[in-house]
Each structure stands twice: as structure tokens, then as C-alpha cells.
Structure 1
Amino acid sequence: MTSEQQNAVEVPAIGRSRHLLGDILAKADIQINGERPWDLQLHREAAQDEIVARHSLGLGESYMRGDWDVQDLDQFFHRLLGARIPQDYRNWRQSWRALRSYLINLQSKNRSFNVGEQHYDLGNEFYSTMLDSRLTYSCGYWKEAQTLDQAQEAKLDLICRKLELKPGMRLLDIGCGWGSLIGYAAQKYQVECVGVTISREQQAYVTERYGGLPITVSLQDYRELQEPFDRIASVGMFEHVGRKNYRTFMETAERCLKKDGLMLLHTIGNNQRSASTDLWTEKYIFPGGELPSIGQLGDAADHLLVCEDLHNFGYDYDRTLMAWHKNFEEHWPRFADHYGQRFYRMWRYYLLSYAGAFRARSLQLWQLMYSKFRAGGVTRVS
């Protein structure tokens, strides 16, 4: 084949990829260089080829480089995900990631501390400016709340009421974060609390902030837990467990839960059992992260625990993420020199893409109540 013939083949291929990106975005009513707040403003032509070839990873990395912008990134993702575009355009990298999660335990004990080091150990000062006053890094409950602090306290109290906490009980928090739940439960419900985390920064923070309360925090993998507890909670941690370990998590809970005990599991969830982790999110935000489906949760608890109640308030995560983004933007000048522009674009992409995903109902937020075959079940609390 002559060079002229090669060029005749190659040039239209590039043209088709650029035309394909426009067609893909048009399905979501998004224009390239349009005038609406959700339209994509392209700064580098070659980014179109990268996005078509590498899908979500190309989209995110090209944004981090500044190759394109959108005035309202949350609206962009609301429209993109609401149109179910990713379901129609899957590439081999996404298929390989799904296969790899079946073949390899991506959340093994040896890897369990990776997400703590990469994500949660960014610095307590950084998170304290973005989150509420208790540093609650999970979905707030906005039923009657007007502010982020109110929404997070309402969520913490909702959990405590669902667990029917009483003075003197022992509460285990698997993945305790910065201790918002165990601090609240110890202060308001007079229970003894044990938290486990894979973040050294979080462990140090909880130990210092709640030193005067009956709270113990361990830097520990949840699979090592053996003690009995009256109540168990896990809030925003199950997303790091992974499908190969869902059963192990439920076995751990069953082993540590007293006969008449209750467990509350608060987790982001996927609508599809077969869904795999977004490649950009897995690489830059939550290494080893994986979102469960309802079916996978049911399989994991089979013959171990009874699901007493399921409460979905995923729509509240949109508002929570937008509140976090507002705080992040307001306080960014304090951290700009330390983290840099690439981190800034990465972090706002993370917050606003997730806000758009929850708004499009692509993701859910579930609170599930489990018991060990408890006589009489539980009373629904909302």
C-alpha cells in the first residue's frame, strides 16, 4: 500500500472519531463549543480522539490537563449519564477491568490500605474545610435540613435511631472515618464505641478529638475483627470491600453481632449487578473501589443475616456533593500552592461528576438494616 493510500485510510478514521464524539454528546443534548452552561468547550482538538478511544479515562484525564471545560460540570454529567451514554459505548479497557475484578481480589488485605494512603490521608485540614463540622464523609439526610451540618447530624441521628441504641451498648463502626458516628453515638446515646479505619490520619484525628469519650479506634482491616457487639454500623466503607469480599464482610458482621443485635449498612450502590468501576475514578480517586448491586448484597447475606429494611435516599447525595463542592471552591486558595492546578481540576471533576450521577439516578444510596433472624423484626424509622 502506498503512503497516499495509507493516508486516505487514516485521515477519515480521525474524522470519524471526532464526528462520533459529537454524535455521542448529541444523544445527551450536549454540544461542542455551544453556548449553554452544560456544553463542552474544547481547547485542544486532539482531545476528541482521546475521549472516543479511551472513554471515561480519556474524558477525565483530558479535563485534568485543561483540554476542555464546561461551565456547569454537574449539569454536563447529569445529561451525559441520564442519556445512558456509557452503556452504549463500552471499550475493551472497561471490559478488562470487569474481568480482572472477577479473577483477582483487588481489595485483598495486602491492598486494603491503598485507598487510605491515596485518598483519605490527603490531610485532615483539607477535609475539615470541605466537610461539615464533624467531618462526615458520606451522604447527608436532607429531609428537614437546610445546611450541611444539619443534614449530617440528621443522618447520624437517623442511624442511631434505626439501631435502637441504648446506654451501655457496644457499637462497632466498620470504617469509622473521622469518627462522626461514634462521636455522636457516644455523646448523645451514651454507648461504648469501637471504630476501625485504614487511614492513619483518621485514627490520629479521632483519638485526639474524642479522647474523653468511651471510644477506641484501631488501624485495622475489618476481616480481623472477632469481638462481640450489640450493634454494628458501616457508613460509606462498603464501597471499598469489593465483590470478592462481600460474603467475607457479611460473615465478619455475623460473627461479631450478638444474637439480638442489629447492623446498619450505608453504601452507594449500582443499578446493575454487572456494572464495573469507572476507570478514571478507580485510578485517581478510589483505588480498588467497587459499588454493589442489591442482588450482590442479597447473595452476600444469604443464610447469614436477615435484611429487615432498605431505605434509598440517593437523591440526597446530589445536594451533599454540591455543598462539598461549594466549600472546596471557597477554601481552595488555602491549598492551591500545595496541591496544584491538576489536583484542583481532578477534585472538582470528582465532586461534580458524582453529583451529576446521583442526579441522573445512575447511582443510589442505600441504608440496609440486618439482624441475626431477630424475632419481631425492626420498626421502620425515617
Structure 2
Amino acid sequence: MPGRELEFDYNGATSDISTPKVLQELLARADVRINGPHPWDIQVRDARVFRAVLLKGSLGFGESYVDGHWECSDLAGLMTRLLNARLDEAPRGLARVFHGFHELRNRVCNLQSVRRAFHVGERHYDIGNDLYAAMLDAHWCYSCGYWSQADHLDAAQEAKLDLICRKLQLEPGMKVLEVGCGWGSLAHFMASRYEVEVHGITVSREQAEMAAERCAGLKVAIELVDYREVRGRYDRIVSVGMFEHVGHKNYRTYFSSLSDCLAPDGLFLLHTIGTEHSASGLDPWIDRYIFPNGELPSMPRLTAALPDGMVIEDLHNFGPDYERTLLAWWQNFQLAWPKLSSRYDERFARMWRYYLLSCAAFFRSRRGQLWQMVLAPVNRAEAYRSVR
């Protein structure tokens, strides 16, 4: 049934499992109990979950879920409570050491260098077009929809695509660079609806092939290349859901490289997830199993990286729309699971459920934001008018 979660066996939790006191105290801060009566409570099926959490923190917590060591009927509700209580910021014991090394690694190493640029494409975006075809909307948008006047996923994603085009003030014949073109959703929309010429780049082979196929016959060129290698001059530049893979060590290079490609009267729209913390890297579980080497920008880091001569014309935050988008993806995944299960196993289903619903909680708790920022050269002659 639509909206119903994949069936998992919540029976068999051992009622006499002894929970370490430190974990009981932490969970109590979020009003979460072990084997409690609420839908957001954790139902323990294997006591190894406690050791995993104490040793590896949030990484161990997620791995234990995928291993089937615990269950929760309202996983998004549980994760929202944990995030609201900021338990992810309070690892204890050896988990604190583990998280410290994870943070140090991300601070010291440039995990988003040119050499590593294609890792996320291979590890996430190339895992199977059948999965994304089933989960996403008709346009194949893998980023936040715009739900202001939409009541279903297809409408929300089309509204997002058109909002971007209107913010960019596209006119027929313009040359547009799309950095991180995905499966060609925006490139196709811009070229077919606004009659512009699009150069789309991506680090995913599967995405590049699909985008080129979908945009055949339009003035769209798709290239498998890193943003640091792009040359040319463009009237407009747009990047949707790609900046999360750039990393703070490369922010200045990102903006300076792309601003060099922008015409003096051009506009640059950046669409990215953001957060209030200037942290390094992602949650360890998300980093290992979903988006390797990713990093969410904070506004101070983002704005500090803007080159001289580039101004912010508009800033739009519609972070709450991402929760609704993620829940729509999860519903689509559930409906498609009978067919997908012939290729993906139950562990993958648990991993994908944990990914989508914990990310929904990230936005529900307001720890995550969704920013659309319009940038322009300071000497651009035409005044910019914000679009909503």
C-alpha cells in the first residue's frame, strides 16, 4: 500500500537485554527507550548493537540497523528525536575517539581532489538506473523538489526545474553550463522549454550515458569531466545537488574556476544542501555507505569562498521541502520493491530505508537546509529581481 513501510519483523526483541547505562542516559534525553512502547522506540533484536554504538557511534548505529540488530517502526521519528537532542554531537567512550579520527581525516586530507572526484559517481550514482527510475519522478530529478503549490512528486520537481530557469532569466540562444547534470533532467528541461544550448558535466558514467540519450536531438552536450577541467564562456551557470561533493578545501577553486567561465552579464545559480555547522565531512555512516567524501557547506564557509567581484543577488531557503521529497522517494521505493528485490537484497533495502528516512529526519529537525543562491558579477549592468 502507498505510504506503508516495507515489512520488517519487529518481534523477537529480547526483553531482558541489559542496556549499558550510558546509552540509557543518552537516549532518555531524546525520550527514546530500548524496547519501549512508542513507535519511535528502539526494539533490540541483538545485543551487539550496544557494543557497535559504544565503539563506533553513529557508524555503528547505522551498521547495526542494516545488520538487523535493531528495529523501529517510526525510523524517521526516532532519528528526528536523536537529532533534536543532538546526540550525534555527544559520542561517548571509544566512539568519541572514532569520531575524532573521522573529523581529523576530513580536516587534514583533501578527500574531494581531482583524483578522487569520480569516487561518488562509481559508488552511488552508478549503482543501478533501475533503482533511480523506480524511486525518482518522471524527470529523474535527484534533488529537492519545490512543494509550494505542488501536491505530488512530479509536480514538485517540475516546479523546481522551472523555478531555476526563471531565476536564471533564460532566453533563447543562451549558452548554459550545468555542473553536475545528473541524468539530464534540468538540461533537457532548459533546452526544450527555454531553447538554450546546454553543456552538462558529471562524474558518473551511468548518468552521462543516460543524459546524452535523453537529450538526443536537443542542443545539449554531456561530458564526463570534473568541474576543475571546464573551459569556455557561458551566459549562465547552474549547479544543482553537486556542491555537497566539493569539500571546503576546494570551495575557492570551485567558485574561481566557474566564475572565470561566466560572462560579464551572466548569472550563476547554486542549489545545495547546507547546515549551520562548519564541520568537515558527513556523518560517518552516510560517508561510508552512501556519499563517500561528501561534505555539507555552512553559510560562513560558502560565502567566505566567493571570489572578489561576485555578489549574492538572491538567497532562498526551502529546506522543509526536502523532507517531503525524501518521503516521496521512500514511498516510490517501497512500491517498486517487489521488482527491485530480484536484483537488490534485503540488506540493501534496510540500508536504503535508513538512508532516506534518516535524511528526512535531518530536514524535519531543521538541522539541514536547502539553499538556492543566485550569484552575479558585481558590474553586471542589469538589476536582478528575485523570483519565487
* Pairwise same-fold verdict (TM > 0.5): yes
In the TM superposition, what is the alpha-carbon distance from 1:377 to its structure 2 partner?
A: 4.0
| Partner in structure 2 of residue 309 of structure 1 | 314
| Partner in structure 2 of residue 379 of structure 1 | 385
Between the aligned partners of 2:233 and 2:271, the Cα distance in structure 1 is 21
Q: Tell me, yes or no, if structure 1 residue 348 matches structure 2 residue 350.
A: no
Q: Tell me, yes or no, if structure 1 residue 296 matches structure 2 residue 298.
A: no
In the TM superposition, what is the alpha-carbon distance from 1:304 to its structure 2 partner?
A: 4.5
In the TM superposition, what is the alpha-carbon distance from 1:43 to its structure 2 partner?
A: 0.3
Q: 1:29 aligns with which of 22, 31, 36?
A: 31
| Partner in structure 2 of residue 133 of structure 1 | 138
CA contact (8 A) 2:281 2:294 kept: no
In the alignment, structure 1 segments of 5+ residues that lack a partner are 1-13
Between the aligned partners of 1:159 and 1:238, the Cα distance in structure 2 is 16
Q: How does 1:192-271 map to 2 (within 5 A)?
A: 192-271=197-276
SS at 2:345's partner residue?
Answer: helix
| Partner in structure 1 of residue 12 of structure 2 | none
SS at 2:142's partner residue?
Answer: coil
| Partner in structure 2 of residue 367 of structure 1 | 372
SS at 2:238's partner residue?
Answer: strand
- What is the CA RMSD across the aligned residues, in angstroms? 1.4
Q: 2:50 aligns with which of 42, 48, 51?
A: 48
Between the aligned partners of 1:103 and 1:274, the Cα distance in structure 2 is 12
Could you tell me which amino acid in structure 2 is paired with residue 67 of structure 1?
A: H
| Partner in structure 2 of residue 20 of structure 1 | 22
Query: Bigger shift: 364-373 or 330-339?
Result: 330-339
Between the aligned partners of 2:281 and 2:199, the Cα distance in structure 1 is 32
Query: Bigger shift: 93-102 or 366-375?
Result: 93-102
Q: Deviations over 1:254-274 (max 9, x none)?
A: 111000100000001111113
In the TM superposition, what is the alpha-carbon distance from 1:299 to its structure 2 partner?
A: 1.1
In the TM superposition, what is the alpha-carbon distance from 1:55 to its structure 2 partner?
A: 0.7
Query: Bigger shift: 90-99 or 337-346?
Result: 90-99
Between the aligned partners of 2:26 and 2:147, the Cα distance in structure 1 is 34
In the TM superposition, what is the alpha-carbon distance from 1:225 to its structure 2 partner?
A: 0.6
Structure 2 length normalisation: TM-score?
Answer: 0.92
Could you tell me which amino acid in structure 2 is paired with residue 342 of structure 1?
A: R
| Partner in structure 2 of residue 81 of structure 1 | 83
In the alignment, structure 2 segments of 5+ residues that lack a partner are 1-16
Q: 1:336 aligns with which of 313, 336, 341?
A: 341
Could you tell me which amino acid in structure 2 is paired with residue 247 of structure 1?
A: R
Between the aligned partners of 1:89 and 1:366, the Cα distance in structure 2 is 29
Between the aligned partners of 2:143 and 2:97, the Cα distance in structure 1 is 32
Q: How does 1:55-134 map to 2 (within 5 A)?
A: 55-89=57-91, 91-134=96-139
| Partner in structure 2 of residue 143 of structure 1 | 148
Between the aligned partners of 1:283 and 1:274, the Cα distance in structure 2 is 17
Structure 1 length normalisation: TM-score?
Answer: 0.94
Q: 1:38 aligns with which of 21, 37, 40?
A: 40
SS at 1:230's partner residue?
Answer: strand
Between the aligned partners of 2:178 and 2:353, the Cα distance in structure 1 is 29
Aligned CA distance change for structure 1 residues 280 and 303 (closer, same or farther; 3 Å): same
SS at 2:326's partner residue?
Answer: helix
Aligned CA distance change for structure 1 residues 370 and 267 (closer, same or farther; 3 Å): same
Query: How many residue pairs align between the two structures?
Result: 368
Q: Percent identity among equivalent residues?
A: 51
In the TM superposition, what is the alpha-carbon distance from 1:36 to its structure 2 partner?
A: 1.2
CA contact (8 A) 1:56 1:279 kept: yes
CA contact (8 A) 1:247 1:300 kept: yes
Between the aligned partners of 2:241 and 2:204, the Cα distance in structure 1 is 14
| Partner in structure 2 of residue 11 of structure 1 | none
Aligned CA distance change for structure 1 residues 377 and 293 (closer, same or farther; 3 Å): farther
SS at 1:144's partner residue?
Answer: coil
Could you tell me which amino acid in structure 2 is paired with residue 328 of structure 1?
A: F
SS at 2:176's partner residue?
Answer: strand
